[in-house]
Structure 1
Amino acid sequence: MSIRWRILQLADSAFPTGGFSHSAGLEAAAQQGEVPDPKALRTFLEGVLWQAGHGSLPFLRAAYGPEAEPAKLDAWCDAFLSNHVANRTSRTQGRTLVSTMARIFSEAELQRLHAAVRERTLAAHYAPMFGFALRALAVPLEQTQELFLHLALRGVASAAVRLGLLGPHEAQRLQHELAEVQSAILERCGPLSLNELSQPAPLIDLLGATHDRLYSRLFQS
């Protein structure tokens, strides 16, 4: 099967990975008055993307290494995500991703990954699992990183619509306008190693950590 068809399938909003259950901290930010207007929302979305670039793309790159070990990268990610909400979200999304992909695709490496998740020998954090799963499908690293950034932006833009912060057409226009930012992030963060992991948007991380204390919640994070 052509790789491009697999990428299109994975990028489709109908692909059930559970990403739409999360807002990447946007719900908490909105309730605390941190995104009062479209300009603030755009700044928030850019922060989420840079956070993904510096805090997730290195795990994807490491997963494509010749000696990459799922357990080692998974443990590294678990230690990196000190925010309990972000950590829980990462594990939930990672497990859902691997389980869904193993049901659809038959690659042996993907089935072994799924078995490890079921046996709970892995916490199954999202970023390293995304890297290993896409590698198992023979998707090139750069396209895997592009897909990861696309899904990150699409998920938060969709959350903004459901939270009533903007309309569907506005969300699509914002995604279009942020394409250059995504390209800049890919160029800057695509080559980063695990020793260069960072969280460049600490306010987003702090806001996300308050999610469990919100009076009412639409999303899991």
Structure 2
Amino acid sequence: MGSEMEVDDGTKKHVLMDSVLQWSQWQLLDSILPTGGFAHSFGLEAAIQARLVLQPEDLRTYVVHVLENTGSLLLPFIYAAAMSPDKQTWHRLDRILDATLTNEVGRKASITQGSALMRVAAAVFTEVPSLKTMRDTSLGTGAVSFHHAPIFGLVCGLLGFDSGTSQRAYMFVTLRDVISAATRLNVVGPLGAAVLQHQVAIVAEDLSNKWMNRAVEEACQTTPLLDTVQGCHGYLFSRLFCS
């Protein structure tokens, strides 16, 4: 009888821990988490001033291209980090991505967002103490630049996301943030933005499946024009976003 009670208590504790972890997973994808993503437009602001995006139809095309580029270039880093969420893998992926990114505006945005995500994750998700340990032992060493994609994959892996969900989650936050930027740039209204996000979700799923589970060595740019446009952001006379 006593052993049965111990097993039952252990099962209840395991279920409780899984439930608590699920709340943390949802919080990671919540826009209220202060990671700085909404300070960046993914080059959309520069594209608008270059008159590449003038109306909602152009916006949809731009968003799809952003998702395609995110899938081809960054999902391999999410996948690798989520599969092996440890300090050694994170540092290796960070160095590779730092050498891969040629657009200085995008590179700085990646570092800014990644640094913020790691700081917030270490402070918020205290049930995963290794996050704070990895951050504390990496700060000021020069061994890591804190790029966003590897850190996002790392956090997903430590919070119990499987690799597929981790990659879809990254596509989701990218879609969410670029459409939010479009709303603040008055390309689309709040209701139109919600409709667009729902419609493009189907495309995002197809693109996720297309680029999912690829090795880091396969990471590539599929829409180089986006990279060029984002690189022009620093030359804008007036701007609302950092990138």
* TM bracket (short chain): over 0.9
Distance 2:125 2:172 in 1: 22
Q: How far is 1:55 from its partner? A: 0.8
- The share of aligned pairs that are identical, in percent, is 38
Distance 2:176 2:239 in 1: 20
- Of 180, 186, 197, 2:219 maps to 197
- 1:55 matched to 2:55: no
Matches within 5 A, 1:63-82: 63-66=81-84, 69-82=89-102
- Of 59, 62, 68, 1:44 maps to 62
Which stretch of structure 1 is more off in the superposition, 194-203 or 116-125? 116-125
Q: Flag the structure with larger Rg.
A: 2
- 1:147 matched to 2:169: yes
Distance 2:135 2:203 in 1: 34
Q: How far is 1:136 from its partner? A: 1.7
Distance 1:12 1:62 in 2: 23
1:14-54 deviations in Å (ceiling 9; x for gaps): 11111000000000000110001211110000011111101
- 1:85 matched to 2:111: no
Counterpart AA for 2:129: A
- Of 221, 224, 230, 1:208 maps to 230
Q: Which runs of 5 or more structure 2 residues have no equivalent in the other structure?
A: 1-16
Partner of 1:173: 195
TM-score (normalised: structure 2): 0.87
Partner of 1:95: 115
The 3-state SS of whatever aligns with 1:64 is helix
- Of 125, 128, 134, 2:150 maps to 128
1:185-217 deviations in Å (ceiling 9; x for gaps): 111111211111111111111000000000001
Distance 1:162 1:117 in 2: 35
- Of 8, 30, 37, 1:19 maps to 37
Counterpart AA for 1:97: L
TM-score (normalised: structure 1): 0.95
Distance 2:93 2:43 in 1: 24
- 1:118 matched to 2:139: yes
Distance 2:211 2:176 in 1: 19
Question: How many pairs are equivalent?
Answer: 221
1:93-137 deviations in Å (ceiling 9; x for gaps): 000000001011121321122114422431010111111122122
Counterpart AA for 1:112: T
Q: Which runs of 5 or more structure 1 residues have no equivalent in the other structure?
A: none
The 3-state SS of whatever aligns with 2:187 is coil
Distance 2:146 2:240 in 1: 24
Partner of 2:51: 33
